[in-house]
A = this chain, B = another copy of it.
Amino acid sequence: MPTPRPGGPVRGSTTGRPIMAAMDLFGRRWALRILWELRAGPIGARALLAQCEGLSSSVLYQRLRELTSSGIITPSADGYELTPTGADLGRALAPLDQWANTWAQKQKQEHDQDQNQDQDQDERVDHTGRPPERD
Contact = CB atoms under 8 A, between A and B. Distances in A.
Interface of A: 5-7, 11-15, 17-23, 26-33, 36, 52-55, 70-72, 85, 88-89, 91-104, 106-108, 110-111, 135
29 contacts: A6-B100, A6-B107, A7-B107, A12-B52, A15-B135, A17-B135, A20-B33, A20-B135, A22-B99, A23-B32, A23-B36, A26-B32, A27-B27, A27-B28, A27-B29, A27-B31, A27-B33, A70-B107, A71-B107, A72-B103, A88-B99, A89-B96, A89-B99, A92-B95, A92-B99, A93-B96, A94-B95, A95-B95, A96-B96
Contacts of A5: 107
A70 B70 CA distance: 31
Given A28-B27, A107-B7, A19 B54 contact: no
Tell me if A's interface is mostly helix, strand, loop or mixed. helix
5 nearest interchain CB pairs?
A6-B104, A18-B100, A18-B104, A92-B99, A92-B95
